Structure 1
Amino acid sequence: MTSTPNSDLDVIEFVQQLLDRLDEDDVSAEAMTDAFSLLADRRRRLLLEVMRTYGEELTLPDAAEEVAIRETGHTVTDIPAERVTEVYLSLYHDHLPRLVDAGLLEYDQERDLVAPDAV
C-alpha cells in the first residue's frame, strides 16, 4: 500500500463526503455541474470566502484587496497596486457576474458594493 499525504486524504475524504451528501439530497447532474463550474476558479472561491468571512457588504475595491491578500499571502502594502487592479477588473468583468447570476452574491453597481446573498 502506498502512503498518501494528509492533504490528499483530506481531498479524498471531502469528495467522498460531498458525494454522499449529493446522493442524500438527490441533486441533479446539471446542478452539480453548475456548482462545480462556479467553484472551479480559485478567485471565485476566494471572493466567496471573503464575503462569508465579513458577512456584510463590502466595496468591490475592498473585496479585491482581500482576494489579492489571500492569493498572495502578503499584506496589502506588499502587493503592487497593479495586482489589486487586475484582481478588481477580473472580479468586475468575469467572476462577480457569474456569482451574481447564480444568486450567491448581490452587487450594487452604482455604489460598487458586493454583498452576500440574503438567502
Structure 2
Amino acid sequence: MKSQRRRYVLYHLRHESGSTDLDVLGRRIAALEAATTGSKVDDESVEAVTVSLFHTHLPKLEDAGLVAYEPQTGAVEFIGADLPGDLLEMTAELEYDGAVTAE
C-alpha cells in the first residue's frame, strides 16, 4: 500500500482498537505523522488529517475491503482479516517502532 496515512489507519485499527470513530482516528494519525502523542498534536493538523481520512483514505480502504466505514456516524472498523498479519506487523515495525501512543 503506497499511502503511509492509509497504512497508519490499518496499524491503529488492527493493533490497538479494532474499531474507533473518525475524530479519534484523525488525532491518532496526526500524532503518528508528527511523531508525538495525541494530546500534543495541534488541532489544525488533526483537522487536516481528519478531512483527508473522510474524503479520501477511508473510502479507498473501504473499497479495498479493509475497513467498514460509516460516514454519517464516523464509525470505522478493521475488517481486513485476509490481510496477512505478518506483513502488516513488519511494515509497522519498519515505519514506526510503536513509540507513539495515543493519550
TM-score normalised per structure 1: 0.63
Runs of 4+ in 1 over 6 A off after TM superposition: none
Please give the alpha-carbon distance, in whole angstroms, between the structure 1 residues aligned to 2:5 and 2:78.
16
Say yes or no: does 1:79 pair with 2:41: yes
Partner of 2:68: 106
Please give the alpha-carbon distance, in whole angstroms, between the structure 2 residues aligned to 1:82 and 1:109.
21
TM-score normalised per structure 2: 0.72
Measured against aligned partners, the alpha-carbon deviations of 1:27-71 in whole angstroms (never above 9, x if no partner) come to xxxxxxxxxxxx101101111111111242201110111111111
Say yes or no: does 1:92 pair with 2:57: no
Q: Larger % of helix: which?
A: 1
1:9-24 pair list within 5 angstroms: none
List runs of 5+ in structure 1 lacking aligned partners: 1-38
2:39 aligns to what SS in structure 1? helix
AA partner of residue 35 (structure 2): G
RMSD: 1.4
